[in-house]
Chain A
Amino acid sequence: QKEVEQNSGPLSVPEGAIASLNCTYSDRGSQSFFWYRQYSGKSPELIMFIYSNGDKEDGRFTAQLNKASQYVSLLIRDSQPSDSATYLCAVEVGPGGGNKLTFGTGTQLKVEL
């Protein structure tokens, strides 16, 4: 079982719709969760991070964390063509983290006009 799993997609949504990206993780002791956006040929860019159960909102982005079910999701409201990218989920690993992250393989999002 992979430590961090994401559906590779592509996930296609129409412009203006809500895009929902999901990530599951295997380490029940993980405490920190991150979402990165990566445009083709570019480096990852931090979008959101979340540490506590529940929702965290930042503009059009909402991160949702459910530690009991071991999943974290990213919602993008009012999706724009510029949101088309690969979204990487990253999870802290090991006791206390030690700043080590394990990345999923990413979900490709396509926002269509």
Chain B
Amino acid sequence: DGGITQSPKYLFRKEGQNVTLSCEQNLNHDAMYWYRQDPGQGLRLIYYSQIVNDFQKGDIAEGYSVSREKKESFPLTVTSAQKNPTAFYLCASSIEGRGSNQPQHFGDGTRLSIL
């Protein structure tokens, strides 16, 4: 089955700890994204990547880092510099659109909480 797999489903972070959220897709999509969703709010873009070995900051990149070493994988690290990391983290991917955007499809998400 083609899809986007995020792991773990739940994650707890201690003070001063970095944690890494995994996102893998087997859809052969070029573009991948990380969003954060807080209760009652829309999705906010953290980072995105349109091609391997390249990525750009989104609207709320501070305290986060990413890598894109393989087309299939786009892990997100929540660093200790992110002081309010508790949120629902969503990974998405899309075919690289030419002209109009192609739809983004989402994984099941990771819920991150502070211990």
A positions within 8 Å CB-CB of B: 4, 8, 31-32, 34, 42-46, 49, 51, 88, 90, 92, 96-106
Whether the Cβ atoms of B100 and A97 lie closer than 8 Å is yes
Whether the Cβ atoms of B101 and A42 lie closer than 8 Å is no
Q: Which of these, B100, B104, B108, contacts A101 with CB under 8 Å?
A: B104
Whether the Cβ atoms of A105 and B41 lie closer than 8 Å is yes
Besides A90-B104, A101-B101, 12 other A-B contacts (C-beta < 8 A) = A31-B99, A31-B101, A32-B101, A34-B101, A43-B106, A43-B108, A43-B109, A44-B43, A46-B103, A46-B104, A97-B101, A99-B31
Whether the Cβ atoms of A105 and B106 lie closer than 8 Å is no
B interface majority secondary structure: loop
Residues of B within 8 A of A100 (CB): 45, 48, 58
Q: Which of these, B42, B101, B107, contacts A99 with CB under 8 Å?
A: B101
Residues of A within 8 A of B101 (CB): 31-32, 34, 92, 97, 99, 101
Does B77 lie at the interface of the complex (its beta carbon under 8 Å from any beta carbon of A)? Answer: no
Report A7 CB to chain B, min CB distance, Å: 13
Q: Which of these, B35, B44, B105, contacts A46 with CB under 8 Å?
A: B105
Report B36 CB to chain A, min CB distance, Å: 11
Report A43 CB to chain B, min CB distance, Å: 4
- Render B26-63 as a binary contact track against A, CB cut-off 8 A, 1 for contact: 00000101010000111111001010000000100000
Whether the Cβ atoms of A99 and B43 lie closer than 8 Å is no
Whether the Cβ atoms of B50 and A98 lie closer than 8 Å is yes
**With contacts A32-B100, A49-B103, A92-B101 known, is A99 near B50, CB below 8 A?**
yes
Does B86 lie at the interface of the complex (its beta carbon under 8 Å from any beta carbon of A)? Answer: no
Residues of B within 8 A of A49 (CB): 103
Residues of A within 8 A of B7 (CB): none
Does B97 lie at the interface of the complex (its beta carbon under 8 Å from any beta carbon of A)? Answer: yes
Bound form: Cα–Cα A90–B73 in Å:
24
Whether the Cβ atoms of B42 and A105 lie closer than 8 Å is yes
Residue among B43, B94, B105 facing the most chain A CB atoms (10 A cut-off)? B43
